[in-house]
Amino acid sequence: MSAQFQEMPQIRRMVPADLDMVVALEREVFLFPWTRGNFSDSLQSGYHSLVLEQDGDVFGYGVMTIGAQEAHLLTLSIAAGAQGKGWGERLLRHFIHIAREQRALTMFLDVRESNHIAARLYKRIGFTQIAKRKDYYPAMGGREDSLVMELVL
């Protein structure tokens, strides 16, 4: 009988070597994905870019920028097979912790109006909707509104 060892999932900084897995995951989860260049630019610009990893496989990631005491969560995603298990919340809370450490006073994010699961998570954490951006996101057959959400840190 052989033992199967699995590392505990960890959150760590995204590095250029992660980009193939991150872009593949982005394409799996989103109809209108970020490009490799978007992620590469985020890394080069020094944005807070994190991955969730287990046994060498990236199954979640996020990107946040902080400036003028405001944090902006630009993207956050969890692989379809790992959704609903608390990983999105864990990664989001890690970003909130970083924002507080960097002395941000508020955190903002945009979420598709149709993404009810993510919006519920954000509300449960304490985000409130402060605005709606009309036709913000590309969508099949047109555009989709964004809900602008804020968390006072």
Any domain includes 16? yes
Number of domains in the chain: 1
Any domain includes 15? yes
State the chain's mean pLDDT as an integer. 95
pLDDT score recorded for residue 1 = 44
pLDDT score recorded for residue 2 = 45
Q: How confident is the model at residue 7 (pLDDT cuts 50, 70, 90)?
A: confident
Q: Phi/psi of residue 79, each to 5°?
A: -55, 145
pLDDT score recorded for residue 119 = 97
131-to-53, 70, 97, 118, 124 alpha-carbon distances in Å:
34, 16, 24, 16, 18
- How far, in Å, CA of 34 to CA of 23, rounded? 8
Mean per-residue pLDDT for 44-58?
97
- CATH at residue 128: 3.40.630.30
Any domain includes 1? no
pLDDT score recorded for residue 4 = 56
Instruction: Give me 5's structure tokens.
Output: 């060892």
Domain residues for 62? Answer: 10-152
Any domain includes 71? yes
Any domain includes 93? yes
pLDDT at 143 over 60: yes
Convert the pLDDT of each residue in 69-121 to its tens digit: 999 999 999 999 999 999 999 999 999 999 999 999 999 999 999 999 999 99
Q: How confident is the model at residue 28 (pLDDT cuts 50, 70, 90)?
A: very high
Any domain includes 63? yes
Any domain includes 2? no
Residues 6+ apart with CB under 8 A from 146: 110, 111, 112, 113, 132, 133, 136, 137
